[in-house]
Amino acid sequence: MSVSSILAETGTVTRFAGRVFREGFRPRFEVQELLYQCYVIGYQSLPLVGLTGFIMGLVLTLRLRPTMVQFGADSWIPVMVGMTIIQEMGPIITGLMVAGKVGSNIGAELSSMRVTEQIDAMSVSGTNPFKYLVVTRVLAATLMVPVLTVLSDAIGLFAAYVGINTNGVTTVALFTNQIVARLTFGDVLPAVIKTFFFGFAIGLIGCYKGYYADKGTEGVGRAANSAVVAGSLAVFLLDLLAVLISSLLGLY
């Protein structure tokens, strides 16, 4: 893609986001559909996110332990692992997993509805398809990604505790106190806030790719694939922006 086409699509996505905000504050509110999308995006993604979080915490601990022991700093393993998971690894891994699972599902679902003209049929029947299909999914993703991140962090920390106890004995109270004693407001707040933006970007991009998909079955595949790629890239870019802003504000 050329620079001009990237800028053009960025402008189109920005207008799409503006429409999401406008439609989102106008009644009638699709509460039932929103709750259903929260179930689909949140609850059905929990097994994948939880398994990924457990593996992340266990691998991180097992790989970090030999180096820390070599420098005589094995007592700092809980703090190092906890800070890494809470600040970066947890939000990033969760965002990528949701972008892969949810982003592709949204892109494929909406693009198939566009191809089969179901969206046009909803407009004819008097239903606002944008509010029903797009706003609910974007809002559900925005709300559920932070929840999934917190759960992933908790599971990852539990896996870290298991990893530490494979070569020693550490109580739950000691492990927890070592992490909590080093955490500050500036460590937790940016990590939580940026996950809301992760969820918004994933939902927005998935809906945009699916809602304006090309006609034909090939358009469904392209919409799902591009939703995953663009959503994952957006997660990395937003994380970089969050780190830069936090550094400027002195939170890190």
Query: What distances in angstroms separate CA 119 from CA 48, 158, 205, 217, one per listed residue?
Result: 30, 44, 18, 16
pTM above 0.85, yes or no: yes
Q: Looking at residues 127-152, what average pLDDT do you find?
A: 93
Percent of the chain with pLDDT strictly greater than 70: 98
- Confidence (pLDDT) at 116: 84
pLDDT tens digits, 61-103? 888 888 777 777 777 888 888 888 998 899 999 999 999 999 9
Position 2 pLDDT exceeds 70: no
Q: Domain residue spans in the chain?
A: 3-249
Contact (CB, 8 A) for 129 and 119: yes
The whole-angstrom separation of Cα 151 and Cα 227 is 24
| Residue 8 in tokens | 């053009």
* Structure confidence at residue 251 (pLDDT): 64
pLDDT at site 5: 76
Question: Could you tell me if 97 and 48 are in contact, meaning their C-beta atoms sit under 8 angstroms apart?
Answer: yes
> Pick the residue with more confidence: 5 or 132?
132
Q: What is the pLDDT of residues 20-64, one digit of tens each?
A: 998 888 888 888 999 999 999 999 999 999 999 999 999 998 888
Q: What is the DSSP string of 66-112?
A: HHHHHTT-GGGHHHHHHHHIIIIIHHHHHHHHHIIIIIHHHHHHHHH
